[in-house]
Amino acid sequence: MKFNPRLFLVVALLVASAVILQTVFIARLNLPGIGPDLLILAVVAVGLATSRNYGAVTGFVTGLLADVLPPDQTTLGVTAILLALVGYFAGSISDPRGMLPVQLFAILALLTVLTGAASVLMAAFVEGRIFDLEEAAWLVLAVAAYTSVLGVLIVPPLQRWLLRVQERLSRQPSSVEPVPSKSSLGTWRQ
């Protein structure tokens, strides 16, 4: 997939919205567990609608933004690496347009559980945090359940929107005017 500045702006808007909503709104919800992970949903939507590379880069940038913002307590780069892997995997799915909601639910649940488990393991080994394994497992499963249920409702419209933006951008003529050929210049009157 070729780099398109307009698609980049749309993806940047989606990522910024997800990061802001995650840190401002979702962090304040009083749900059992932590709440849904909007960052995974945004990265999966971009990966499904574009490609592996776009998904991985989107995941990396989204993770860096999440690592830098205040409520996050992980080592800088951990979330970026995990979300880059999520974006790469989502972009690797061959034809996501015909995906059933059950398949999307399973993919989101698997990605969220793996990301949560990897995050807990990295925090335990890299940062030396001590976790109650049972409590950590329940939190990861709660986040996976919230994310998967919300993802079945949010990811397909986001994916369709991103695909529509790509189609619209591919139909637009280039902003660079072609150099007129000699035959199209016309003739001078004599």
Tell me the per-residue pLDDT of 43-67, one tens digit each, with 9 for 90 and over: 999 999 999 999 999 999 999 998 8
Say which DSSP state 6 is in. H
3-state secondary structure 57-126: HHHHHHHHHHHHCCCCCCCCCHHHHHHHHHHHHHHCCCCHHHCCHHHHHHHHHHHHHHHHHHHHHHHHHC
Predicted structure pTM score: 0.84
Q: Of the ranges 6-15, 128-137, 180-189, which one carries the lowest mean pLDDT score?
A: 180-189
d(C-alpha 178, C-alpha 180), whole Å? 6
Full set of structural domains in the chain with CATH: 5-170 (1.10.1760.20)
Tell me the per-residue pLDDT of 85-138, one tens digit each, with 9 for 90 and over: 999 999 998 777 778 899 999 999 999 999 999 988 888 888 787 888 888 899
